[in-house]
Amino acid sequence: MTNAFNGPGPDAVFAAALAEGRFMLQQCDECKKYVFYPRVLCPHCGSPELAWQFASGQGVVYSTTVVRRKPEQGGDYNVALVDLSEGPRMMSRVDGIPPHEVSIGLAVCAHIIDDPKKGKLLVFTPAQGGVA
Amino acid sequence: MKATDLRGKTAIVGVGLGGLPGVLNAAPNRSSMEIQTEAVHQALTDAGLKPSDVDGLFTGSSHAFMPALSTAEYLGIRLKISDTTMIGGSSFVGHLLPAAMALQYGLCDVALICYGSNQGSGFGKLKSMSEPQTYEAPYYPRHPITSYALAAARHMHQFGTRREDLAEVAVAARRWAQLNPLAFARDDLTIEQVMASRMVNDPLSKLDCCLVTDGGGALVLVRSERAKDFPRPPVYMLGTAMAHWHRQISSMPDLTVTAAAESGPRAFAMAGLAPADVDVVELYDAFTINTLLFLEDLGFCAKGEGGAFVRGGRIAPGGSLAVNTNGGGLSCCHPGMYGTFLLIEAVQQLRGEAGARQVDNAHIALCHGSGGVLSSQVTALLGDASTL
């Protein structure tokens, strides 16, 4: 059993894994549901028995917006909510296509990139085949 | 003891505004506390009271870490109870609950709810004490509009809501504001102008967003048994309920359903009322999508039909449902947090003192506060003496 009260906190574990290029999700040993963002208690059932699993990286865009920004400040960019195939939803962005072409329902897969400001950053790109 | 025991037991006997244009002082170089205190003075004067009569304080702030301490010290008052529950812009509608409980249990005799900010003149843009959210911040969402844009995009995708429908909300708010001498934005506005305004976060354009202004609001509450001793017609709290399901938008279970779907029915149950009984509706319209979501979640129309519901000026002056009769956050004022203004406008409507924007035969008002990013939801039903 992986009691989340032991050792480094789940925030630190997630960040350390991401820094090494791995996208990890917690899964509750009690109710079997996946948890994101990382926590010490399962938000579904209250159990502290949360085990780390490799995320599949597969997801679908739940909603999307283009944050408008002047070209000289870097131009428009995408912010999306992605429903992971394991169940949880997360904020991220979809790279690889213009920000305004990201659409709700688009199948995406996760990538860990080197962001100049944020270090390792989890983003998504359209999956092979496109629409989920 | 049950929630319905609070129905009608608390009366609002004074309201006041500060920092708005028109008859009130909207000069620059006034601090948030100065604007708040102008509103407090107006409310206490309205109630025929002095600061020293206040013994319960319910407040929140965009600038002070311990706002009850700062406010009480500034007013020179000594309190028996204070509460600074901070759930965003809905906080002040939420404060009706602890205020009503404190009055009912005799913990205080005169409760003051207040807020003030110089957000418009002091900062010139939205300023928030909100801490960055660890798992959202790396993607640079623009707080708070990106979250509302994501909700609007989802609503459009799922229900076929159009940008014109969102624009209809902004135009209705503007038409009410044109009847309100205290509103900041009173120029003519058309659906086409809203559609053509600068896109900020698709699908929300600049005119889908609330104003950033100065403003203060204050309310004085007492136990209903004393309400007739005060100079103005009392307005009674018939029902209030709170619900919140998330903090950040990525944790909102369904972006098309807010916790108003829970707070609304509970508030109606406490009041013994239904949406059809409501004469005036005041909804926290930080963005145009809010109005659609709350009309749906509070039961004024079915889920997904908010866009169709507002078409053709239905919530504008002369329409079948009077919504945001002061012009709302979109066109009246929005000094960081808007909650007090929902209540004050409802009180003025129920007293029959709303001038050109007065709704005929207004006996029951619904105020709905929202805080965070569609996060906290508080619904209150207020009524005049005929509703007790």
- The band of B29, judged by pLDDT with boundaries at 50, 70 and 90, is confident
State which residues form the domain around A112.
58-131
Q: Which of B135, B154, B163, B245 to mutate against chain A (most A CBs within 10 Å)?
A: B135
**Shared-domain flag, residues A78 and A106:** yes
What type of residue sits at position A12?
Answer: A
Query: B263-314, pLDDT tens digit by residue?
Result: 999 999 999 999 999 999 999 999 999 999 999 999 999 999 999 999 999 9
Q: Is the domain of A64 the same as that of A99?
A: yes
Q: Is the ipTM of this complex over 0.85?
A: yes
In a domain, A2, yes or no: no
Question: Rounded CA gap, B385 and B388, in Å?
Answer: 6
Looking at residue A4, its pLDDT comes to 73
Residue A119 lies in a domain: yes
pLDDT 10s digits, B159-184: 999 999 999 999 999 999 999 999 99
Distance in angstroms (rounded) separating the CA atoms of residues B374 and B287:
10
Supply A41's token pair: 């208690």
Same domain, A64 and A126: yes
Burial of B82 (C-beta count, 10 Å sphere; 0-12/13-18/19+)? buried
Examine the domain organization and report whether A48 and A79 are in the same domain.
Answer: no
Check residue B25 and give its pLDDT.
52
Q: Are B120 and B30 in contact (CB under 8 A)?
A: no
CA distance B1 to B317: 41
Q: Are residues A125 and A63 in the same domain?
A: yes
Q: Which of A14, A91, A100, A115 to mutate to test the interface with B (most CBs of B within 10 A)?
A: A91
Domain match, A46 and A62 both: no
| pLDDT greater than 70 at residue B347 | yes
Domain count, chain A: 2
HSE of A1, CA atoms in CB hemisphere, 13 A: 10
Q: What is the pLDDT of residues B239-266, one digit of tens each?
A: 999 999 999 999 999 999 999 999 999 9
| Domain architecture of chain B: domains with CATH | 3-125+211-387 (3.40.47.10)
The predicted model gives B76-86 an average pLDDT of 97
| Alpha carbons B291 and B310: distance in angstroms, whole number | 9
Prior bond of B284 cis (ω within 30°): no
Which of B217, B214, B39, B18 is CA-nearest to residue B122?
Answer: B214
**Domain ends where: A54, A69, A84?**
A54
Determine the pLDDT at residue B286: 98
Q: Are residues A49 and A86 in the same domain?
A: no
Instruction: Let me know how long chain A is.
Output: 132
For residue A122, being part of any structural domain is answered with yes
**Chain B residues touching residue A67 (CB < 8 angstroms):** 140-142, 146, 201
Helices B145-159, B288-297: axis angle to 10 degrees equals: 60
User: Residue B349: which of B364, B371, B337, B336 has the closest Cα?
Assistant: B364
Q: In what order do the strands lie in the sheet with B322-323?
A: B81-83, B56-59, B111-117, B215-223, B10-18, B235-244, B376-383, B364-371, B280-283, B322-323
Mark whether A72 and A123 lie in a shared domain: yes
- Enumerate residue ranges in chain A where pLDDT < 70: 1-2, 129-132
Q: Which amino acid is at A129?
A: G
Distance from CA of B122 to the nearest CA of A (A): 24
Whether A124 maps to a domain, the answer reads yes
Say if residue A50 is in the same domain as residue A73.
no
CB contact under 8 A, A79 and B249: no
Q: Is A1 contained in some domain?
A: no
Find which of B157, B245, B250 to mutate to test the A interface (most A CBs within 10 Å of its CB).
B250
Task: Tell me if A5 is assigned to some domain.
Answer: no
pLDDT score of B309: 98
Of A18, A38, A54, the position where a domain reaches its end is: A54
Instruction: Tell me: do A67 and A127 sit in the same domain.
Output: yes
Q: Which is it for strands B10-18 and B111-117: parallel, antiparallel or unpaired?
A: unpaired
pLDDT of residue B125: 53
pLDDT of residue B23: 47
Q: Please give the pLDDT value at position B121.
A: 84
* pLDDT tens figures, B185-216: 999 999 999 999 999 999 999 999 999 999 99
- Per-residue pLDDT, averaged over B118-147, amounts to 84
Task: Indicate if the pLDDT at residue B126 is higher than 90.
Answer: no
A1 interfacial to chain B (CB closer than 8 Å): no
Q: What is the mean predicted confidence (pLDDT) over B34-47? A: 97
For the domain that residue A120 is a member of, what is the CATH number?
2.40.50
Contact B135 A90 (CB under 8 A): yes
- Helix ranges restricted to H, chain A: 10-19
Res A117: pLDDT: 85
CA B86 to chain centre: 14
* Closest chain A C-alpha to B205 CA, distance in angstroms: 10
Average pLDDT of the residues of chain A: 94
- Cβ of residue A32 closer than 8 Å to a chain B Cβ: no
A27 and chain B: CB distance < 8 Å anywhere? no
Taking all residues of chain B, what is their mean pLDDT, rounded to a whole number?
95
Q: Does A101 touch chain B (CB under 8 A)?
A: no
How far apart are the C-alpha atoms of A55 and A84, rounded to whole Å? 9
Chain A residue nearest residue B149, CA to CA: A65
> Do the chains contact at B249 and A81, CB–CB below 8 Å?
yes
User: Looking up tokens 């944020």, which residue turns up?
Assistant: A118
Q: In this complex, how many residue pairs, one in chain A and one in chain B, have their CB atoms less than 8 Å apart?
A: 65
Contact residues on chain A for B142, CB-CB shorter than 8 A: 67
Residues A87 and A44 in one domain: no
Q: Has residue A4 been placed in a domain?
A: no
* A75, part of any domain: yes
Please check whether residues A44 and A71 belong to one and the same domain.
no
